[in-house]
Structure 1
Amino acid sequence: MEKNWAGNVTYRATEIHHPATLADLRSTIAKSRQIRALGTRHSFNELANTGGELVSLARMPKFVEFDTGAPSVKVSADLRYSQFVEDLDKKGFALPNLASLPHISVAGAIATATHGSGSGNGSLSTSVAGLEIVTADGSSVTLNRGDDDFDGAVVNLGALGVVTSVTLDLVPAFEIRQYVHEGLPLAADILGVLDGAYSVSLFTDWSGDTINQVWVKQRTQDPEFIPDGTTPADGPRHPIPGMATENCTQQLGVPGRFFERLPHFRPEFTPSAGEELQTEFMVARNDAVAALQAINEIREHIHPVLQISEIRAIKADQLWLSPYYQRDTVSIHFTWIADGTVVMPVISMVSERLAEFDARPHWAKIFDIAPEVLQSRYERLQDFDDLARRLDPAGKFRNEFVAEILSPR
């Protein structure tokens, strides 16, 4: 049976289609009664699942088309970031940010508002300038930034159709130096540390009042940032103690191209600790210190079932279903052991602790928030539902996961 990357979700689809051309894809979608797109399978929940059919774009033609005047690049939606970022660099361009895993697909990342880090950096979705979608009747719709529905269509949960191409804004290519520092007190100026460099990640196992590691990714032209109270790592580090550091991007201040340093993990290696479950909650920047303290108060429940936790900053945006909609954000991420029976009660406990901060979950990770509560935390959810009904009036792309979030048909 087909499973997701983590192995915790078994796909129930009656058939998985692998069209080789755009015409084949349009025909497949038009004939289907219920269908969802299947990407690189990095969703930890039922977002991509369906009892109908699944469609993979893996056999579709791949393309990377530059517009140096914009500058922008149009790519086939199923491409993994690792498959084209080096091409950008060779042309003298870069993406402003990348996720910790370069193994994920463009369409999947933007559909779920996946992000990197940096208080001045938006999620990967904010680089989208345009996208092409095959909708329920098999026709194609093109939306560009500035169009009425664009801000609703980027973070789309796969509920509008199957995205076939994405146009991304580019910036001039740049280099990054990456350092790891250890032993940051949890009582330190956490927001100041997150603001200290182009991209900063804090890793903790919640075993005490200390952040285990601070990963600092700074542009080579920027002054070196050393968080107060920390000690520079004396060698390469993996976020999870005991894991092979060869899997991680190079550290110790050795300069590298943007795509070689912004991710935590190298594309040619298995990116994490193996089987795992993941949860992530986003809180407003102004609430971050209090939220972290609330989590720290239940650390004796978290630590035994945790592999590692990561804290990052993300800039606000205007995308309707983005967890960063109209608020600068700090994310609190948990990589759990692969045992749902012991992990789910702790996820519920974390969710309860963060409820007063109106925490928004990462759409592709495990969360335990009632639909009506979730609906109250997304001001434009009804607008998105209206957009989905216009593009998909019969609910062809609406699986159980999406139907719970949106209003019932």
Structure 2
Amino acid sequence: MQHEPSAPAAEQTAQEAAAQPEPVPLPLTRAAGCPFDPPAELAELREQQPLRPMRYPDGHVGWLATGHSVVRAIAADPRFSSRYELLRYPLPGGPEGALPPATLGDLTGIDAPEHTRYRRLLAGKFTVRRMRQLTARVEQITADHLDAMERQGPALDLVQAFAHPVPALMICELLGVSPSDRAAFQAHTAMLSSPEAGPEELMAAMTALAECVRELVVAKRAHPTDDLLSDLTTSDLTDDELAGIGSFLLAAGLDTTANMLGLGTFALLRNPEQAAALRGDPGLADQAVEELMRYLSIAHTGVRAALEDVELDGQLIKAGDTVTVSVEAANRDPLKFPDPDTLDLHRKATGHLAFGHGAHQCLGQQLARVEMRVAFPALFRRFPTLRLAVPPEDVPLRDAMNIRGVHRLPVTWDTSDTWGKE
């Protein structure tokens, strides 16, 4: 019996290409008046095809993953690399072509075995048990800043008065930054996220911060104290590696939590019934943090590069293709979370991807959880009439950055209606 000859390989490839939808750019436009929701087009793309071709700003055609199961699979698969030099930048205005390699100590942009070596040295320092031991100190720092807010009185910028300094002080204490040096550290890190900072100011702040950390490493080698950086001086890490890791932890431990406290408070103020539930039930704090992480997904977009051909969700991702994973779309996937666009602090948001997944899951997530579990309820109990001091549309959002948040959050409250110290 004779068979019809198969189509030439080139013809098959053309047929496959014709069957693919046209590559799309990464959707970035958020609906007016919906500062907490992902771009609506992401939901449309997720419903059509959770993994589809994407055109990058430099012309590269790669992939966009929007479904929860697909994003989770990519994050857990070692065939997808996090090395910056293999990736294309998905946002407009970035570098064209491959990115520069990660700086020494930056765990985000490296793979095993280098990543594994660093991760093993650090993982034991950030366990659930060790971070929960810091709860009393987080409570004291939180109460001190609430006291200062009450003394200052309304109106004020919650980011400057509370959301930024609480995690900044905690990460400084964890790394062993002396009290006399903490103001300088906080000023440099604040400059890195300032909307007014120009390129020269950003570079100056980065250089100054790196020098501060390097001086701290030298000091810890000579006179170790009871802190994380001193512990690491007993490892085989070089001074350059220690300085890089210290800078990475300082920036990562501050920026994400500070923006969660700022944007999370904004979201709760816009959903007053949820704020009331948290204020009335301190036991709701754990669920509230997970739901806010899911709902806001401030680390909204990730990028990976295929190291080899990978078949996933009915698609063939070729070696060298860059894959953008939309964490915010995955965390709003109705196949995983019913009624996903509603903020519901009673929801069990187990399985959200806001802290990442797989080998690169956020190292400091337990510290962030402790800080938020303390800070959010304490803020709303101390100031039960807390509210925005400006119209919601006037709150300046950090929409153009890879970590979402608010640049400022002007708030006010009734001075006769505080509940006293925590």
Q: TM-score of the superposition, structure 2-length normalised?
A: 0.24
More helix by share: 2
- Which structure has more relative contact order (CA 8 Å, sep 6+)? It is 2
Structure number with larger C-alpha Rg:
2
| TM-score when normalising by structure 1 | 0.25
